[in-house]
Structure 1
Amino acid sequence: MLEVANLLLPTLMALWWPFCRIMAMLSTAPVIGEGMVPIPVRVLLSVVLTFLMLPITKVAAMPDPFSLAGVVAMIEQAVIGGVIGLALQLTMAVVSMLGFLASSQIGFSMAQMNDPVNGQQSDVVSALLGLVAMLVFFAIDGHLVLAGVMGQSFRAWPVAGGFGPLLLETVALNVGWVFSAAVLLALPIVFSTLVVQIGFGFLNRVAPSLNLFSLGFSLVTLFGLMMLVQVVRFVPEHYVQMTNQVLEMLQQQMRMAHG
């Protein structure tokens, strides 16, 4: 029994560090890290990916998991995996913010419903765009992209090898890009509803006796839905472009770390 334990302990130690990084990435990654995916499923996927990536995660000196160096290495792997997942989550955040801006301009934000994906209330436009983003994610083999990025990260940032603060800084600075991309996509809807509201403002000066609030609300919703139909057609294309931009950012950080 002691000999079996001595043989299994190095293997378990070699599997533990990649498991921490992969589990952290899957917990923050788009679609897979959502609340609709049960935690046991993410754990099972992490175990499978850990065994598959074992040949590229070998390190000469593994720290003792029960020592201070082992705890630091575990936190380090969780930070690297979490940051990579959050970086890939930026494109999904753009789509979610686009849905919120569109629904607030159209008037659908007043009708909230329970969202089982995020575990909170959301409007119907955000739920629709989120479903479109999920379909595009699997259509472009996003799950395979996650595995590929994770495999490359073990070469750029090996276990117990540390990671540069530039990775955290780059991901944090790209949060502003999320706001700008969402506003640019929602600009046609915002502009069309603004024009309708300004027109009804002038009409109210001409005919104050009309009940322009109820009439204007319906027309704003109608014009907003017409512009939303035009915008939704371009969401998959922009989602792919934004995903490629995030992947290029990660590749640049990996090249800097590996070089």
Structure 2
Amino acid sequence: MGFGLAIEPQLWALLFTMVRVGAAFIAAPVFGAVAVPLPVRITLSGAIGILAMNAQNITAPSEVFALTTFVAVAGEALVGLAIGFVLQIAFAAPLVASELIGTSMGIGFAQAIDPVNGASSPAIGQFLSILLTLLFLSVDGHLILVDLIVRSYDAFPPGNWVAPERLRAIAFFGGYAFLAGLLLALPVGFLLLCLNLVVGMLSRSAPALNLFAVGLPASLAVGVVALIAAMPAMGDYMMVIVHEVLEMTAKLVFG
């Protein structure tokens, strides 16, 4: 009987801590991927929850079934979702860039199932998303995310909600996905725009010219060559995206 009473508060505190950690992992791009099995997510949430309990002073609500407890759990879930959603915004930039590039190249119809979110996305978008994920992992972004989740208990103790100005900052940061996607697609998109101008002038000078027989293969060839040539610059800008989103996540946590 004594052993059961001693372990029950610790188990409840762990489950309460796992709410914030699990919510952040659900919204985060790497941990929340569809390819990651649910038992793995639960195990990771439990492990990080134990780490947070040992590193921070986390006090769980005294009563399990109470209105204040449900409000506190909702607040913990909101904090975790806000942390993970900021990262998800930046990882939407390759999808925006792929839509611009794929439409200009004429392969916008080339869709495939994205293993990250389980939805259909352009093939170029999958390539850019995987590249951004590898760069994110190469700079230990996943470890920084775990560190921010653990340290978030200092800035947002259990029972405190995210301030409205920080939620407004997240909403304004949503425009960064379109800005980063446009800048990411700018080198390839500029060359394809120049090609379309050339093809348009050819069509005006030679109306009998079949644009579908000339323009589509030329757009595809120029797009592939432009992607190969612009890949170093795109990789450098992806590193900028990773640093920007990690900085924004730190600002969300620490203000």
The correspondence of residues 75-154 of structure 1 with structure 2, limited to 5 A, is 75-154=74-153
Q: Deviations over 1:74-126 (max 9, x none)?
A: 11111100110011222211122212221121122122223333222222211
Unaligned ranges ≥5, structure 2: none
1:43 aligns with 2:7: no
Greater shift, 8-17 or 173-182, is seen at 8-17
Partner of 1:5: 4
Greater shift, 48-57 or 15-24, is seen at 48-57
| Displacement after TM superposition at 1:29 (Å) | 0.6
2-side partners of 1:185 and 1:97: how far apart? Answer: 9
The correspondence of residues 1-259 of structure 1 with structure 2, limited to 5 A, is 1=1, 3-59=2-58, 62-256=61-255
1-side partners of 2:55 and 2:62: how far apart? Answer: 17
**Conserved? CA contact 2:27–2:88, under 8 Å:** yes
Cα RMSD (Å): 1.8
TM-score, length basis structure 2:
0.93
Change (3 A) 1:241 1:116: closer
Change (3 A) 1:72 1:27: same
Greater shift, 237-246 or 152-161, is seen at 237-246
2-side partners of 1:90 and 1:20: how far apart? Answer: 21
Q: Deviations over 1:169-190 (max 9, x none)?
A: 1111101111111112212222
2-side partners of 1:207 and 1:221: how far apart? Answer: 22
2-side partners of 1:168 and 1:187: how far apart? Answer: 30
2-side partners of 1:173 and 1:27: how far apart? Answer: 22
Change (3 A) 1:22 1:108: same
| Displacement after TM superposition at 1:129 (Å) | 0.9
Greater shift, 118-127 or 28-37, is seen at 118-127
**Conserved? CA contact 1:92–1:130, under 8 Å:** yes
TM-score, length basis structure 1:
0.91
| Displacement after TM superposition at 1:12 (Å) | 1.7
Greater shift, 243-252 or 148-157, is seen at 243-252
Change (3 A) 1:169 1:182: same
**Conserved? CA contact 1:98–1:186, under 8 Å:** yes
Greater shift, 148-157 or 96-105, is seen at 96-105
| Displacement after TM superposition at 1:234 (Å) | 2.6
Percent pairwise identity: 32
Runs of 4+ in 1 over 4 A off after TM superposition: none
Unaligned ranges ≥5, structure 1: none
| Displacement after TM superposition at 1:41 (Å) | 0.8
2-side partners of 1:61 and 1:229: how far apart? Answer: 53
For residue 139 of structure 1, what is the amino acid of its counterpart?
S
Count matched residues. 255
| Displacement after TM superposition at 1:61 (Å) | 6.6
**Conserved? CA contact 2:19–2:73, under 8 Å:** yes
Greater shift, 70-79 or 101-110, is seen at 101-110
